[in-house]
């Protein structure tokens, strides 16, 4: 029992990160029906911004309470990452908005490779893995044989709060309503006086801000390197597809679902060697029966 609870906690931690990144894929797809393959690398940039911000903040405001430093690191990372995402959107995607979708997707792949290789080439960053260190005091509890670390609770807690906030924003605010309207019918919406360009930029910015939160949390628990966005990016993208790409709640659900499959496949199987193979086979089966994902809406093509 303790064993399963421990694995459940492991899955929640991994799922929190997947879900946060999956949101960025799904939001951009929602407004532009485009898959932003650079999103995994934007997440990577977010974790590096957090890395540098934590170094600077600790050097200049070392006496401040850890919680203030932690909040400061997240805010700096969110702002920087959002700015980068908006710049990328304006410079690379906007000129291609009326070109075939494939062009924009290939451009996104290119941007991703550019970010990875630029980060490897910059001497201050380089390919060596780094750790963000413990921004918050770390403690560990053992409840009935289940080990819970404070960091784990922070990761899951912050992720859940972020997702709730995003869900409310998209459902209740004017900007959120505009985003959903564009995703519903992008040709009518401009006629209603909605500033489409601004809303699209805001979508990129908020997707990146959420990824930056994920990047900061990830950097506190694991090591960061310029290529980290590739693997996490793919898993998060698949999470978004499984949950139903375009659906916010679907992305969250998909992120946790994928993490559960990842964690529990080696638990059920004797050896962990076949983990990824089994995990993705299960997902393929799921997509055969629900091609639009779990919460995705069926698309009817108008002729």
Partner 1 sequence: MNRMVLIVSLCLAVGLTSCTPPSDTTTTTEQGQLTGGTIKIGLNAELTGSIPVVGQSCRDAAEFAVKQIDDAGGIEVGGARVMVELITEDNEDKAEAAAAVAQKLTTSGVLAMIGPNASRNAVPAAEVAESAHIPMISPWSTAPRLTMDARSGAAKQYVFRAAFTDDFQGVVAANFAVQHLQTKRPAVLYDVSSEYNKGIAEVYRTTLQEKGIAVVAFESYTSGDKDFSAQLTKIAQTGADSLFLPNYYSEVPLQVKQARRLGYEGAILGSDSWGSEELLKLAGDDCEGLFFTTHYAADTATPAAKEFIAAYQATYGSVPDDVAALTYDSMGLLFSAVQAAGSVEREAVRNALATISDYEGVTGTMQFQGTGDPIKSAVVIQIKDGKFTFFQTAQP
Q: What is the 3-state secondary structure (H, E, C) of the chain?
A: CHHHHHHHHHHHHHHHHHHHHHHHHHHHHHHHCCCCCCHHHHHHHHHHHHHHHHHHHHHHCCCCCHHHHHHHHHHHHHHHHHHHHHHHHHHHHHHHCCCCHHHHHHHHHHHHHHHHHHHHHCCCCCCCCEECCCCCCCCEEEECCEEEEHHHHHHHHHHHHHHHHHHHHHHHCHHHHHHHHHHHCCCCHHHHCCCHHHHHHHHHHHHHHHHHHHHHHHHHHCEECCCHHHHHHHHHHHHHHHHCCCCHHHHHHHHHHHHHHHHHHHHHCCCCCCHHHHHHHHHHHHHHHCCCCCCCCCCCCCC
Smallest gap from Cβ 236 to partner 1, in A, equals: 14
Q: Decide if residue 231 touches partner 1 (CB under 8 A).
A: yes
Q: Decide if residue 3 touches partner 1 (CB under 8 A).
A: yes
Tell which positions 11-50 bind partner 1, by CB under 8 A. 11, 13-14
Q: Decide if residue 267 touches partner 1 (CB under 8 A).
A: yes
Instruction: Kindly tell me which of 71 and 120 has the beta carbon lying closer to partner 1.
Output: 120
Region binding partner 1 by CB under 8 A among candidate stretches 49-57, 181-189, 240-248, 271-279: 271-279
Among 129, 157, 190, 291, indicate the residue that binds partner 1 (CB under 8 A).
129
Instruction: Kindly tell me which of 177 and 230 has the beta carbon lying closer to partner 1.
Output: 230
Smallest gap from Cβ 282 to partner 1, in A, equals: 15
Q: Decide if residue 230 touches partner 1 (CB under 8 A).
A: yes
Among 61, 171, 276, 285, indicate the residue that binds partner 1 (CB under 8 A).
276
Among 79, 83, 109, 175, indicate the residue that binds partner 1 (CB under 8 A).
109
Instruction: Kindly tell me which of 176 and 233 has the beta carbon lying closer to partner 1.
Output: 233
Residues binding partner 1 (CB under 8 A)? 3, 6-7, 10-11, 13-14, 109, 113, 120, 126-129, 131, 140, 142, 147, 149, 222-223, 225, 227-228, 230-231, 234, 262-264, 266-267, 271-273, 275-276
């Amino acid at each position: 029992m303790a064993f399963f609870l421990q694995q459940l906690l492991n899955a929640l931690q991994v799922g929190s990160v997947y879900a946060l990144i999956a949101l960025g894929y799904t939001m951009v797809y929602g407004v532009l029906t485009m898959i932003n393959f650079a999103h995994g690398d934007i997440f990577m940039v977010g974790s590096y911004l957090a890395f540098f911000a934590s170094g600077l903040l600790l050097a200049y405001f070392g006496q401040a309470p850890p919680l203030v430093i932690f909040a400061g690191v997240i805010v700096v990372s969110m702002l920087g990452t959002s700015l980068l995402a908006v710049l990328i959107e304006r410079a690379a995607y906007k000129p291609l908005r009326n070109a075939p979708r494939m062009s924009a997707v290939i451009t996104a792949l290119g941007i991703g490779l550019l970010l990875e290789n630029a980060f490897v080439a910059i001497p201050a960053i380089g390919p060596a893995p780094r750790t963000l260190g413990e921004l918050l005091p770390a403690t560990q509890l053992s409840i009935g044989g289940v080990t819970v670390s404070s960091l784990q609770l922070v990761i899951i807690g912050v992720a859940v709060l972020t997702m709730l906030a995003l869900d409310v924003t998209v459902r209740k605010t004017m900007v959120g309503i505009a985003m959903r309207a564009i995703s519903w019918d992008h040709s009518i919406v401009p006629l209603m006086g909605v500033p489409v360009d601004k809303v699209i930029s805001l979508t990129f910015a908020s997707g990146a801000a959420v990824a930056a939160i994920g990047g900061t949390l990830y950097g506190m628990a694991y090591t960061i390197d310029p290529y980290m966005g590739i693997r996490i990016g793919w898993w998060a993208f698949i999470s978004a597809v499984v949950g139903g790409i375009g659906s916010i709640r679907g992305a969250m659900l998909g992120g946790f679902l994928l993490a559960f499959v990842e964690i529990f496949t080696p638990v059920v199987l004797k050896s962990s060697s076949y983990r990824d193979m089994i995990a993705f086979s299960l997902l393929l089966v799921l997509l055969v029966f629900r091609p639009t994902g779990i919460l995705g809406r069926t698309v009817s093509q108008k002729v």
